[in-house]
Every structure is written in structure tokens, then in C-alpha cells.
Amino acid sequence: MDRLEIVHLIKQFRVFKRYKHALEISQWMSDRNYLVLSPGDVSVRLDLISKVNGIEQAEKYFDDIPTKLKTFPVYSALLNCYAQSKSVEKAEEVMQQMRELEIAMSPLAYNVLLNLYSQLGQYEKLDILMEEMEEKGVHPDKFTYSIRLSAYAATSDIDGMEKTFQRMSLDPEVDMDWSCYVIPANGYVKAGLNDKALGMLKQSEELITEKKKRVAYEFLLTMYAGAASKENLYRIWKLYKSSEKVYNKAYLCMIGSLLKLDDIAGAEKILEEWENGDTVYDSRVPNLLIAAYCKDGLLEKAERLVIDGIEKGNKPCPNTWEILATGYLKANQMPQAVKNLRAAYLATRPGWKPNRETLTSCLVYLKQQGDVKQAKELVKLLGAAGNLSTDICKKLQDYIYN
């Protein structure tokens, strides 16, 4: 394999989030001198080490990097590692080092820090950083504006959002696409200004390219539901189906949107379309309606939907049974709640975590009924599947017996 093939292979593993494999290939190749590392290669490895082994190991690796390789891509990667771990002070330290080395002269590094501040709600720091960009002649790009717009939308600062959007739309260096209009539309929805939101969404539609139709339509389904526009919701759904193969994600968006508008009948029709389609079975799709039924106290309909799925050869996931258990719990039908919670544990898979409120309520009920055996069995099932830590299992068992 030549260098380009190695780099491409590592890139593909990263795309599919197989970070450990990507790191192993990177290390194996360079250890055998098959790959002479460039600053770009080092930045990729730094990111992989952080994802696989943690930020402390990434720091150690950075310290050992030769000075000649510590250029903008490497510092940017370290900055991004700290941002991903939400380490504000460390990220600010790296940014200061980049300033001193005079390599923080593109919007990329600023965007990482701006996004970190925005995620943590430290909005007061955004304008300070953007003012610094202006003073140093670092021109904002589309992502800079988008981060600032999102922060204004999150705080319902409509005036600030509108001024920033106007500045963005007049910036000749920014290529305005459909996604640029979605952020202010979301801000308007949050502020209850649905008419303004609809205006933005219509402009967004005009900029959708053939390549971006699927992701754009999925966003628009959610956005039109947020703006309480059922007419536009169905219009986009019709456009979607006429131009794209409909996958599970689209059904999740559409059913979720209809339920947001309290249109259970409409959601049932879309679920029927999904059942009669050729998509791969995904329990998340019927789970939306099952949860809606449980929320409205329609427990028989919820259970019927699960049974219908089983009769068609579909296997409910743990969440399906837990949704039913929680529904019965809220209806104070405890025997049924326990039955469905047990079914959830029997269908469990690695990484699944039970709803603590539902579990606790069922254990309290079983203890009150004097059914220590079944309570113990529930805890044992969870512990054996690795869904609860040994410490938590012990505490629950102590509660059952005391």
C-alpha cells in the first residue's frame, strides 16, 4: 500500500467511527517507517488518540511531537480535542499559544472556541471573540455566523439574530444555502413568531439542491411542525416521497412531527405506510406511536401495536417494553408494569440502561407485595446483562432485603 491508500483507509475508518482501527493502522504504518508523518497525519492521530485513549494520552502525544511538526493543523487538532471534552480553560490556553505563534489567523480555530462557548451557554464570550476576529482581520465564514445565530436563537435575542443574519446574507464571501435560513427560522419558532419562521423556511426551500434534498426535507418536516404548519408539513412530505426513496429517518421525522401537532390519526396513517413499505425494520418508528398511546392512556392500543409487530415477525427492542412498562406504571397498573419491565430485561442488549424511575417503582411495588423473589430476579437479570454496575445491583439487593 502506498501513502495515499493508507491515508484513505484511515479516513474511511474515521468516517464510520471505527477510531480504534484507524489509530492502529496509523501507528502500525509509522512504526515500521511505511508512513512519514506530516502535520496533517499528526493532527489526525492526535484526534484518534483522544477519542480512543482519552484526552490525557492525547496531551502526552502532543508533548512528544517534534517542534517542526507543531503547525496550525496540529494545534487546531489539540484545540478541538479540548473542545470535545468541554475543557474550556485548556482550550483557551491552546488558543493563546496559537495567538502567540501567530497561527490563529483563520476562522477555523475561532469557530472551535465559539462553538464550545455556545454549547456551554457562555454566550457573553462570543461577541468578545468575534470582535477579536475583526480587529485581527480574520474574516468570519458561514460557520462563524451560524454559531452566533444559534446562540441568539437559543436565548431568543431576535434583534441580535436578525442583525447577524443580515450581515451574513450581505457578506460576499458567504455562500448562502438552505441551511442558513433554518437557524433563524428555529429562533423565530422558539420566540413564537411562526409567521416569520414560515417566511424563512420558504426561502430555505428555494435554495435546496438535488444533492441535499433528503437532509433538507427531513429538517423542514421538523421545522414546519415546530411552526405549527400542518399544511406545509404534508406538502414537504409529498415532495419528499415524489423525489427520494423514503428511509426510516424520514418516517421518524414525519411521525414525530405529526405527534407534536397532536395528530395521532395522521401518525397512524404514516406508520401504516411504513409497515407496507420496503424499509428495514426499526423499532424506533413504532415506538413513537406506542409512547404517544401510553402518554394518552391508550394502553390497549399501545400493546396491540406491539403484538401486531411480533405477529409480523418483528422483535421488539428493550425500549419498546420499557415504554409499555412506564405507561402501565403511570396508570397504576403495577402487575402489567412489572411484566413489561421483565420483558425489557429479557430483550436487553449491551449498553441499554433501564429507566431508574420505572425500575425503582416496580421494585418498591414488589417489596410491598412481599414478592422478594421476583424483585431479586429483576436485579439479577440486569446485572447479568451488564446493564447495571455491581455496586448499584448490591444497593438494590440491600434495599429488597431490608
Q: What is the pLDDT of residue 249?
A: 96
Residue 34 has pLDDT above 70, yes or no: no
Per-residue pLDDT of 272-300, as tens digits, reads 999 998 899 999 999 999 999 999 999 99
Structure pTM? 0.85
Who wins on pLDDT, 362 or 258?
A: 258
- From the list 227, 157, 224, the residue with the least C-alpha distance to 189 is 227
Percentage of the residues of the chain whose pLDDT score is greater than 90:
78
Per-residue pLDDT of 143-195, as tens digits, reads 999 999 999 999 999 999 999 999 999 999 999 999 999 999 999 999 999 99
Domains located in the chain, CATH noted: 302-402 (1.25.40)
> With left for phi above 0 and alpha for psi between -120 and 50, is residue 400 left, alpha or beta?
alpha
Residue 381 has pLDDT above 80, yes or no: no
Q: What is the pLDDT of residue 376?
A: 80
At a CB cut-off of 8 Å and minimum separation 6, what does 89 contact? Answer: none
Residue 386 has pLDDT above 70, yes or no: no
- From the list 350, 351, 288, the residue with the least C-alpha distance to 320 is 288
CA distance 344 to 315: 11
Inter-residue contact 347 to 323 (CB < 8 Å): no
At a CB cut-off of 8 Å and minimum separation 6, what does 257 contact? Answer: 221, 222, 224, 225, 233
